Amino acid sequence: MTYDSVEQFLREGQANLVKGPVALIFVEDDVEIESTLYHHLDLGFKKVIVFMPAAFPLSAELAEQCPRITMDAPRGQPMVDAINKFIEAAPSLWLYYCFNAEYLFFPFCETRGIGEMLAFHTEEQRDAMLTYVIDLYSPDLSVTPNAVSLEDAQLDRSGYYALARRDADNHDHPKERQLDFFGGLRWRFEEHIPANKRKIDRISIFRAKPDLQLRDDFTFTDEEYNTYACPWHNNLTAAVCSFRTAKALKANPGSTFDINEFTWHNSVRFDWHSRQLLDLGLMEPGQWF
C-alpha cells in the first residue's frame, strides 16, 4: 500500500502500528534500497515502513510487505517531523529508524530476533537504546565510485573515542551517563564534515510515549532516553552499519575530488556478523544472554 503523506498513513494505515517493533526506513537515494528493507525484515520487525520519493521503484514483493509513504526529501527536518508524528500516534510502541544503505546489528542478532531483544531490554526498565553508526565503505573507489559495495565492505577497527556531553544549563558538569561518540569517516575526514554532524551516536531504537520528541541531533527531549546505560550496570547497545557517510563524501563536490580512497591501515573487511562488532567493542551485550 502506498500513502501520499504521513498524515494519510496515520489516518488510514493505523493497522500497521498495532504491534511493534516497527522500523522506519528513510530512502535518500536509489542505493541499496531493497537490501536495506530485506535486512530489517529478516531481523523480525513486525512492520517495515519505507519513506521514499515516488520516482524510486520497489519490487512487487517488497511493496506488498512494506507500507510506502511518499516523501520527496526524507532527511533533515522532514524526517524528524515524520518520526515525531509516529511517536504521537503510537505511544508505547517500539520504533527504530535509519536510512537506506544502513543495516542494524545487535548482539547475537543472527539467532535472536529484534522482538526478543527488546523484551529483554524492557525487563531492564530501559525505554531507549544507544546505537553507534559504524561507517562502511568500498575498498576500491575506481570500481565502486559511490563507495558502496556489500560484497567487499570495510570498516575501521579502531579510531573511536568519546567525550563528555556538556549540559547547556550547567557548563561545569557533564550530563549524567551521556557521551558524544566519534570515529570512522566522520573523524578521519572531519574537514569535510560540519562540526555538528561529526558524532556517530544515535538513539535509533526507542519506545514512543506521550510528549516525547526527537531532536535534529538524533537525541530526545527526555534526557534518560539519551543515556547509554542505567545507573546500576551496562545495558545493551547496537550498531547501525552505514554506507551513508561514504556515499555523501563521494557525492559532495566539495569532498569527492579530495578523496581517492577510504582504506587505511586500520581498515578491515566487514564480516556482516554481530560477533565481529562485539569483538571490536562497537556494541555492548550488557546482561543479554
Dist. CA 227–CA 128, nearest whole Å: 8
Distance of CA 163 to the CA centre of its chain: 20
Other beta carbons within 10 angstroms of residue 212's beta carbon come to: 18
What's the burial of 281, exposed, middle or buried (CB within 10 Å: 0-12/13-18/19+)? Answer: exposed
- Architecture of the domain made up of 1-100: 3-Layer(aba) Sandwich (3.40)
The model's pTM is: 0.95
In tens, the pLDDT along 108-155 reads: 999 999 999 999 999 999 999 999 999 999 999 999 999 999 999 999
In tens, the pLDDT along 35-59 reads: 999 999 999 999 999 999 999 999 9
Dist. CA 249–CA 256, nearest whole Å: 6
Q: Which helix (H) or strand (E) holds 99?
A: strand 94-99
Provide the 3-class DSSP secondary structure of residue 133: strand
User: What is the domain partition of the chain in residue ranges?
Assistant: 1-100, 104-289
